[in-house]
Amino acid sequence: MGVYSDLYASKLRTADEAVKAVQSKQWVWYSHFAMGPRALDEALARRAGELTGVNVKGVCLMYEPELVKVDPEQKSFLYHSGHMSGHERHLGDQELAYYIPGNYGQCPGNTRSGNMYPPQIAMIMTTPMNEHGYFNFGTSCSYAKTICDMADVVILEVNPNAPWCLGGEQECIHISEVDYIVEHESPMAVIPSEFTVTEAEKKIAALLIEELEDEACLQFGIGALPSMIGKMIADTDLKNLGIHSEMMADCFIDLAEAGIVNGKMKSIDQRKITYTFALGSQRLYDYIDNNPRCATYPVDITNDPDIIARNDKVISINNAVEIDLYSQINSESSGFRNISGTGGQLDFTIGAMKSKGGKPFICLSSTKKQGDKTVSRIVPYFRPGSIITVPRTYAPYIVTEYGIANMMGKSTYRRAELLIDIAHPDFRDDLIKAAKEQRIWTRTNKIG
């Protein structure tokens, strides 16, 4: 630790000592995704009954917060998420977690402007300090530095298993900006690198591969579909691909190591894989650790549509829950049930639209199981409670296993026609009937 050893020692606390900084009615903000502060969460939970009205905010935590488990009546703590993980969705189903809507790329600006609830106490997991006095935000640059800058008290949970992720900017914090340090070793949260792929997803992936060309700049996130696309790209002769994404995923590693992804034709961050958070296997965390091929940035840089568009041929690939005949896209709820969040889907859809030669895609299988029934995911209109993630004014290319439909610049009736064409054949007649009943068509167009 060199010259900073005494300063470090003066700020070192146990988790229970550090969380004494929290007072009733304050807002406590956690770090995001795989960097959720487990020891500090558990220590704060031990103050249940002592504190009242403490609001806690996380983003896509990979564990169920302990403070929710110990306080189901929510007398001490109220938990909020900026993007629901599976754990947080489960809590939401029990009315124990609440969603704060927002485009991911706008969150740092909203925090700095005071539009979001103020982060009075920051609890952030980091790497250990280096010889220069810096801690690294690891796999979740996100908007960790903004949280620390705005907070009255900054508490770091230092985890030696967190990878040091090179940036960019705002990927580190100096010890002079920190109030308390808690040392706690825990394994990094991992998710599978291999996913079960349906036949519909295989067909969608094959359609998307046909849309790729040399020198494209890719963005896609978690799940079976991007994993499948990554494998299929590896079997092509595509060259000089780049990556500018909010998420760094396992599927990018093989492409980079094979030289298919080299980033040399990117307009910005040349030869870099650009991302704001990483979530995947231990192999992924080992890969990004001190790897100069990768550059992590805060999300208001990675997800800024104007910055995204500075690269040519941006290919943005994201998933949806359902789409209606007006081409409105719901990617975050099932009726009144909150499934995930807006995330960066609209950010990258707009960015790819603005990119020279860019193409944004929203993908969904044509049907899904709902109980014992098979239902269409292209619907006449949304059920009450359904959330519009991408409005029809920004609806891009829509992809099912039956084809690709370009919504951009089309009339309302033409959008409905194109969507019906890529719906499952078993539901097309009902969708045509619904389009007529909803007066989407006129006597002069072709529906029916």
- List residues with catalytic annotation: 246
Beginning with the edge strand found earlier in the chain, give each strand of the sheet holding 322-324 in spatial order: 329-330, 322-324, 378-379
Specify whether the CB–CB gap between 202 and 228 falls below 8 A: yes
Helix (H, G, I), strand (E, B) or coil at 413: helix
Please give the Cα distance from 351 to 244 (Å, whole number).
11
- Residue position matching structure tokens 């909010």: 246
Please give the Cα distance from 94 to 155 (Å, whole number).
30
Q: How many residues does the chain have?
A: 448
- Cα 6 to its chain centre, rounded Å, is 38
Please give the Cα distance from 332 to 365 (Å, whole number).
15
263, two tokens: 């980033």
Beta bridge partners of 183: 158
DSSP codes joined into one string, 329-371: EE-SEETTEE-S--TTHHHHHHHHHHSTT-EEEEE--SEEEET
Instruction: Say which residues have a Cβ less than 8 Å from residue 24's Cβ, sequence separation at least 6.
Output: 51, 52, 53, 54
Please give the Cα distance from 204 to 57 (Å, whole number).
36
Specify whether the CB–CB gap between 303 and 142 falls below 8 A: no
Please give the Cα distance from 353 to 279 (Å, whole number).
26
* Ranges of H-type helices in 237-311: 251-257, 282-288, 299-302, 305-308
Amino acid at 89: R
CA nearest neighbour of 170 among 146, 154, 188, 153: 146
Please give the Cα distance from 138 to 161 (Å, whole number).
9
CA nearest neighbour of 394 among 343, 422, 423, 360: 360
Work out the number of other CB atoms within 10 angstroms of the CB of residue 203. 17
Beta bridge partners of 370: 373
